[in-house]
A = this chain, B = another copy of it.
Amino acid sequence: MPRIVDHDQRRRELAETVWALVREHGVAGVSLRQISERSGWSSGAIRHYLPHREAILMFAAQHIAQRIEGRMLGLKQTGDVLGDFLNLLREVLPLDSERRAESQVWLAFVGLSISDPGLADTQGVAYRALSEVFQGIFEEFTKLGLLNHPAPENAAREIQALIDGLNVHLLLNQITPDAAWATVETRVRQLIRPLTDQEMT
């Protein structure tokens, strides 16, 4: 009987290794040799999953996207649509060390994507996934009559840009997490009227 290999489990292990190395050395500094040393796997075994350099980098980016998506899906819906949206935004800002590490990977990819169309496509996927989430949420706010902006699509784009700009400024240590969060929260509370107690029941 052939040995049973849990490929999903192996992929997860490998993703964690690549992610740790990207955090330590930057995206440009991750090599097959380092992955092999850290994971204890042979180069051949790693190449089975990650045949070339671009595959390693995309793999790490997808891993981050899945982590964030998982946390978002795990958020408890409270019925307070404004509070729920703020909770979701907290998951995509580097306000603690875990989310900071994710943002570092994201930003390193963004930087490399400028001169690498393959990576740029991966970045595009990451942007569009979050963009669709935001667009859907803002259309919902409009339907509920809670949006204080003439164009939901424009408002969603504004918040996504605000989040990504603050991501950059936080990672460069130019603003504090408190200041970044205050900026987001102030703007979102201007944009979205909270449900009244009557509307919530």
Q: Interface residues, chain A, CB within 8 Å of chain B?
A: 25-29, 104, 107-116, 120, 123-124, 127-128, 131, 149-151, 154, 157-158, 160-169, 171-175, 179-180, 182-183, 186-187
Contact = CB atoms under 8 A, between A and B. Distances in A.
Contact of A163 (B127, B160, B165): B165
A111 B107 contact: yes
A117 to B, nearest CB: 10
B29 A115 contact: yes
Copies of the chain in the assembly: 2
Q: Is the interface of A mostly helix, strand, loop or mixed?
A: helix
Nearest to A22: B115
Nearest to A103: B114
Given A124-B174, A173-B124, A114 B26 contact: yes
